[in-house]
Amino acid sequence: MTDLIRLEGIAVHFPVRGGLADLVRRRPAAVVRAVDGIDLTVGPGEVVGLVGESGSGKTTTGRVVVKLTRPTAGRLLLDGADVTKVWGGDALRAYRRRIQLIFQDPYETLNPKQTVHDFVAEPMVVNRTVPSAVERERIVLEAIHSAGLRPAADFAFRYPHELSGGQRQRVVIAGALVLDPDLVVADEPVSMLDVSIRTEILQLMLELRRARGLAYLFITHDLSLAWVLADRIAVMYLGRIVEVGPAPAVIGDPRNPYTRALVSVSPSPEPPAPGVRARREILAGETPDAAHVPPGCRFHPRCPLAFDRCRTDEPPLFDVGAGHASACWLAEGGRPLPAATRLAGS
């Protein structure tokens, strides 16, 4: 089966403006390696969770997929066809009809001067998909209804200030649905909502997946959310994917120390045994500066298991079986990680 979306060696580097001293001394321009050569696939109807700390490159990866950011290197394929250089005209409109985006902040996404109806109808007008005003009206009301705003006619001519936060995010989802896409890139879609509203929005997204066969690239810093929603999880760190595999395998048997640390501090529905305290691996410090990537394994300054090779050589993704891969020298040959002898930062 052909992957719906495939990223091959995608890199996004942003130049850093130097000072007068750099110009006089003719120093080479520095770059921020926001994404630094990643491979990732999303199949039809699949939910892939992309997780990691702030600054790991998750959002930039999502922007490449929806063609809001040009990659510095690599290829982007849709149904096996190379669409890397599609950047305008009818070809870009056709691409964006199939790939839609849900932004993190519904307050910033919605135009306060637009009604719900106008916001949801705008993608059809811009992409020239439905010339008939009567048919547009039907599709708009159907999308609003599918997003859980019912009856749709009661919400269609309200303005954003008349809606709650959860209702605003439903409007954003309706705007993404109106073109009947194959893939939705959801960038932290519930991070700004109350916990009770989050559950409703996540249930809605899963219902839409079942009803429409939608695929999702679900971007989040919350590993527990990815655990619940995703079929596969890809863990990013400093612009690279350091572990990828089926969600139960990544959560239940992490093969990268970074993933294991994230899992150890994530909420779990299974409490430890009576009298046993849950072990936490607290990472020291922040993600290193993406303009000055350390040599060797990128995680080694924070890794409790790092050894000499980690400081000089960067590991590739090693296959550890059943579609599970980890970028860690200790996982080479499919070996399990040893127990941590100390906590990072202890």
Question: What residues in the chain have per-residue pLDDT under 70?
Answer: 1, 21-23, 27-28, 268-272, 277-278, 340-346
Q: Which residue has the tokens 């941590």?
A: 340
In a domain, 235, yes or no: no
CB 134 within 8 A of CB 169: no
- What separation in angstroms does the CA of 215 have from each of 37, 43, 115, 196? 23, 7, 28, 24
Q: Are 145 and 177 in contact (CB under 8 A)?
A: no
The answer as to whether 331 is a domain residue is yes
Domain count, the chain: 1
Tell me, yes or no, whether 81 lies in a domain. Answer: no
Q: Does 326 map to a domain?
A: yes
Distances (CA, A) of 253 to 28, 234, 302, 324: 43, 14, 20, 10
Write down the pLDDT at residue 174. Answer: 95
**Is 323:287 a contact under the CB 8 Å cutoff?**
no
Residue 246 lies in a domain: no
CA 16 to chain CA mean position, Å: 25
Which residues constitute the domain of residue 302? 255-268+278-346
175 belongs to a structural domain: no
SS (H, E, C) the chain: CCCCEEEEEEEEEEEECCCHHHHHCCCCCEEEEEEEEEEEEECCCCEEEEECCCCCCHHHHHHHHCCCCCCCEEEEEECCEECCCCCCHHHHHHHHHHEEEECCCHHHHCCCCCCHHHHHHHHHHHHCCCCCHHHHHHHHHHHHHHCCCCCHHHHCCCCHHHCCHHHHHHHHHHHHHCCCCCEEEEECCCCCCCHHHHHHHHHHHHHHHHHHCCEEEEEECCHHHHHHHCCEEEEEECCEEEEEEEHHHHHHCCCCHHHHHHHHCCCCCCCCCCCCCCCCCCCCCCCCCCCCCCCCCCCHHHCCCCCHHHHCCCCCCEEEECCEEECCHHHHHHCCCCCCCCCCCC
Beta bridge mates, 6: 41, 77
Residue 10 counted as domain residue? no
Q: How far apart are CA 123 and CA 106, in angstroms?
A: 16
Q: Rounded to a whole number, what is the distance in angstroms from the first to the last CA of the chain? A: 47
Identify whether 290 is part of a domain.
yes
pLDDT at 288: 84
Residue identified by tokens 């919350």 is 222
What's the pLDDT at 39? 97
